[in-house]
């Protein structure tokens, strides 16, 4: 087979080539390494060719021995928020520059055990705080914002912008991401790829540099729902001894619903008790704030779901707007606590000149953290402080519960919920970089599912302004990932949006 085509293929297709011995795991790894090393989007932060090729050789041995594991020998790149033994881990921050973890994050470990071959580490917003991947601070000599492969004058989304750009530009067939308030779904939408954030607790947080512990979740980003289902099956699973919020539910085969033979109307029997799939449409997601180009693409996608046999039902998520203030109190509160460990003693950067311990802490943290991280630490410390805790933090926790309850009311009327991922397509680099509030507001549609701990995914459904990709969000009830992936897969079997490639990735 001709090598130039390799990067256009899905994981499922690539695995078939490995199985038929048309291609070796080493050739495949070399192909993607070469592409990734020529990356012009600043998506990659680190490579380790030796480690990559060693993993590929080991995978090939397993293939030669007859191992048919579905991800064996397939390349993947990891968001630089997961700690890795073979690569530096920076979380996009100067404060961790030079840090090397003595162990691999559980998610990285699980994908390696499945036989996947790591191509490198991917850029992200500092400590995953951001919506544009403009908050990256490493390498400190020359930090570069990641660019969107569909238009390099635009942002790729964040905080998993490196992951989304790498998959969209076909520098890797798959990537890991993390989603605290939308960081898998929003960059997937902005770069025209597919990504899923599972139910909170499904994926282990062990070895994921912590931002907001009650929200952080890992998940896969790839070209299709079919690929995401394979990846999610490998990366989820209980990790009870190492992550206290890990869910004690067995590892699942998230591809199982995809395999059933389906006709023209696959969603006509995909709902509860074998009825039509009921897709809830939250009125609050379709208000004035939604750009008309995004709305048009989502409306067309909803029509397509109807053609596939689904019923659309209007639902209400009345506290959608409140999810912004609630999230931007809770996430900074948790961040301020989590980031207290970066003190110049245990990890990474330490200030060179200081007079005493307090001075060392202060200088280390002033030099090591970027503006957005400092802003969150200050907000977080404020809302947790004596006298303000009740007024802000406690109040936010109460509304968080109501937001979760609203979803449960909605799920009495529908099986899944659909709507936009973001109010607009990807904006221009620099457009919102000096305006944190404008960035926060753009998270409105991803924050509700995050606060409720529900699974959510993004799939490409067309193009909007300036021919930029538009993503549709599907949200499901707890542990309903298999159903979300099946709905997305049926949509993708009948549409071509997920197969579109940005010009530079041909
Ligand atoms: N944009 C949101 C924030 O800045 C979400 C980030 C994320 O999900 N990691 O916090």
Domain holding 226, by residue range, is 3-251+272-325+392-505
**Which are the contacts of 273, defined by CB distance < 8 A and separation ≥ 6?**
none
| C-alpha 396 to ligand 1 mean position (Å) | 17
| Predicted pLDDT of residue 465 | 97
Burial class (CB in 10 A: 0-12, 13-18, 19+), 163: buried
Q: In this structure, is the dihedral angle defined by the CA atoms of residues 170, 171, 177 and 182, taken in order, positive or negative?
A: negative
Q: Are 301 and 491 in contact (CB under 8 A)?
A: yes
Tally of structural domains, the chain: 1
Report if residue 301 sits inside a domain. Answer: yes
Query: What residues contact 185, with CB distance under 8 A and at least 6 apart?
Result: 179, 195, 197, 421, 446, 456, 457, 458, 471, 473
Mutate to test the pocket of ligand 1, among 81, 159, 179 (most ligand atoms within 8 A of CB): 159
Relative to beta strand 174-179, strand 194-197 is unpaired
> Active site residue: 10, 123, 131, 159, which one?
159
Tell me the backbone φ, ψ of residue 335, rounded to 5 degrees: -65, -40
Catalytic position from the list 24, 79, 93, 121: 79
pLDDT at site 2: 57
Q: Whose CA is nearest to atom 5 of ligand 1?
A: 181
Give a yes or no: residue 371 inside a domain. no
To the query of whether residue 159 is one of the catalytic residues in this protein, the response is yes
Count of C-beta atoms within a 10 Å radius of residue 264: 9
348-362 pLDDT tens trace: 899 999 999 999 999
Give the 3-state secondary structure of 130-158: CCCCCCCCCCCCCCCCCCECCECCECCCC
Which residue's CA is the closest to the ligand 1 atom numbered 4? Answer: 130
Cα-to-centroid distance, 181 and ligand 1 (Å): 5
Distance CA 208, CA 408 (A): 29
pLDDT score recorded for residue 4: 58
Q: Tens digit of pLDDT for each residue in 283-330?
A: 999 999 999 999 999 999 999 999 999 999 999 999 999 999 999 999
Q: Are β-strands 456-463 and 416-420 bridged in parallel, bridged antiparallel, or unpaired? A: unpaired
Judged by DSSP in three states, 381 sits in helix
pLDDT in tens, 387-404: 999 999 999 999 999 999
458 and 473 in contact (C-beta within 8 Å)?
yes
- Return the structure tokens found at 505: 């990735």
- In the chain, how many H helices and how many E strands? 15, 11
Which numbered atom of ligand 1 lies nearest the CA of 179? 8
**In the numeric block, which tokens belong to residue 439?**
């960035």
The answer to whether position 370 is within a domain reads no
Query: Mapping DSSP to helix (H, G, I), strand (E, B) and coil, where does residue 295 land?
Result: helix
Q: Is 183 a catalytic residue?
A: yes
Give residue 57's pLDDT: 98
Asked if 92 contacts 125 with a C-beta cutoff of 8 angstroms, the reply is yes
Burial class (CB in 10 A: 0-12, 13-18, 19+), 248: exposed
- Residue 115: name the closest of 190, 65, 160, 150 by CA: 65
Domain CATH code at residue 466: 3.90.1300.10
- Name residues whose C-beta falls within 8 Å of residue 389's C-beta, 6 or more positions apart in sequence: 383
Which one, of 35, 46, 42, 2, lies nearest residue 173 by Cα?
35
Residue 345 within any structural domain of the chain: no
Across 87-126, b (16+ Cβ under 10 Å) vs e yields bbbbbbbbbbbebebeebbbbbbbbbebbbbbbbbbbbbb
Residue 331 CB less than 6 A away from ligand 1: yes
Neighbour tally for 144: CB within 10 Å? 15
φ, ψ for residue 202, nearest 5 deg? -70, -45
β-sheet with 117-122: strand ranges across: 44-46, 117-122, 75-79, 174-179, 217-222, 194-197, 456-463, 469-476, 416-420, 278-282, 311-315
Q: Which two tokens stand for residue 236?
A: 């989820």
pLDDT of residue 228: 98
Could you identify the atom of ligand 1 that is nearest to the CA of residue 215?
Answer: 8
Q: Whose CA is nearest to atom 10 of ligand 1?
A: 129
SS percent in the chain: helix, strand, coil, step 5: 45, 15, 45
Given ligand 1 and candidates 82, 127, 129, 447, which is best to mutate, with the most ligand atoms within 8 Å of its CB?
Answer: 129
Using alpha carbons, select from 72, 161, 57 the residue that is nearest to residue 111.
72
Which of 10, 160, 163, 183 is an active site residue? 183
Longest alpha-carbon distance in the chain: 73
Burial class (CB in 10 A: 0-12, 13-18, 19+), 451: buried
- Strands (E) in 105-236, as ranges, are 117-122, 174-179, 194-197, 217-222
- Token pair for 441: 């507001």
b/e sequence 416-430, b meaning 16+ C-beta within 10 Å: bbbbbbbbbbbbebe
Q: Give distance in angstroms: CA of 305 to centre of ligand 1.
A: 29
Task: Give the ligand 1 atom nearest the CA of 327.
Answer: 10
Whole-model pTM over 0.75: yes
pLDDT tens figures, 147-172: 999 999 999 999 999 999 999 999 99
The reply to whether 45 falls in a domain is yes
Residue 456 DSSP code: E
Q: Which residues of the chain have pLDDT under 50?
A: none
Tell how far the Cα of 9 is from the centroid of ligand 1, in angstroms: 30
Residue 296 lies in a domain: yes
In the reported structure, the alpha carbon of residue 377 is separated from the centroid of ligand 1 by a whole-number distance in angstroms of 14
CB 133 within 8 A of CB 145: yes
Q: Note whether residue 365 is domain-resident.
A: no
pLDDT at position 416 is 98
The verdict on residue 361 lying in a domain is: no
């Amino acid at each position: 087979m001709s090598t130039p085509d390799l990067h256009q293929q899905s994981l499922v297709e690539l695995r078939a080539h490995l199985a038929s011995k048309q291609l070796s795991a080493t050739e495949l790894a070399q192909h993607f390494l070469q592409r990734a090393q020529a990356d012009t989007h600043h998506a990659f932060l680190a490579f380790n060719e030796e480690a990559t090729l060693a993993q590929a050789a080991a995978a090939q041995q397993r293939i030669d021995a007859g191992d048919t594991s579905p991800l064996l020998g397939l390349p993947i790149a990891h968001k630089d928020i997961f700690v890795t033994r073979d690569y530096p881990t920076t979380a996009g921050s100067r404060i961790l520059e030079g840090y090397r973890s003595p162990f691999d994050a559980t998610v990285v470990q699980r994908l390696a055990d499945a036989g996947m071959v790591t191509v490198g580490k991917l850029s992200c917003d500092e400590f995953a705080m951001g919506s544009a991947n403009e908050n990256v601070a490493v390498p400190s000599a020359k930090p570069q914002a990641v660019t969107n492969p569909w238009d390099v004058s635009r942002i790729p989304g964040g905080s998993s912008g490196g992951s989304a750009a790498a998959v969209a530009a076909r520098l890797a067939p798959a990537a890991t991401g993390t989603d605290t308030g939308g960081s898998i779904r929003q960059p997937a939408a902005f770069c025209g790829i597919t990504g899923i954030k599972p139910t909170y607790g499904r994926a282990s947080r062990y070895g994921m540099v912590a931002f907001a512990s009650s929200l952080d979740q890992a998940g896969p980003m790839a070209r299709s729902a079919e690929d995401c289902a394979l990846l999610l099956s490998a990366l989820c699973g209980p990790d009870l001894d190492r992550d206290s919020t890990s869910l004690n539910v067995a590892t699942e085969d998230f591809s199982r619903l995809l395999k059933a033979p389906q006709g023209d109307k696959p969603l006509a029997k995909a709902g509860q008790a074998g009825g039509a799939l009921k897709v809830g449409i939250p009125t609050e997601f379709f208000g004035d704030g939604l750009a008309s180009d995004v709305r048009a693409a989502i409306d067309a996608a909803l029509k397509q779901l109807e053609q596939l046999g689904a019923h659309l039902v209007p639902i209400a998520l009345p506290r959608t707007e409140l999810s912004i203030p609630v999230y931007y109190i809770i996430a900074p509160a948790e961040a301020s606590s989590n980031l207290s460990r970066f003190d110049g003693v245990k990890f990474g950067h330490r200030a060179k000149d200081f007079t005493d311990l307090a001075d060392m802490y202060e200088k280390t943290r002033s030099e090591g953290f970027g503006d957005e991280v400092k802003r969150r630490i200050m907000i977080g410390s404020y809302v947790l402080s004596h006298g303000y805790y009740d007024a802000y933090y406690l109040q936010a926790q109460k509304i968080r519960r109501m937001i979760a309850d609203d979803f449960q009311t909605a799920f009495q009327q529908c099986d899944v919920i659909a709507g936009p991922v973001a109010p607009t397509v990807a904006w221009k680099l620099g457009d919102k970089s000096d305006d944190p509030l404008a960035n926060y507001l753009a998270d409105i549609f991803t924050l509700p599912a995050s606060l409720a701990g529900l699974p959510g995914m993004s799939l490409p459904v067309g193009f909007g302004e300036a021919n930029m990709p538009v993503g549709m969000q599907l949200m499901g009830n707890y542990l309903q990932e298999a159903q979300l992936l099946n709905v997305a897969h049926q949509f993708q079997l009948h549409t071509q949006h997920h197969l579109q490639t940005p010009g530079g990735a041909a």
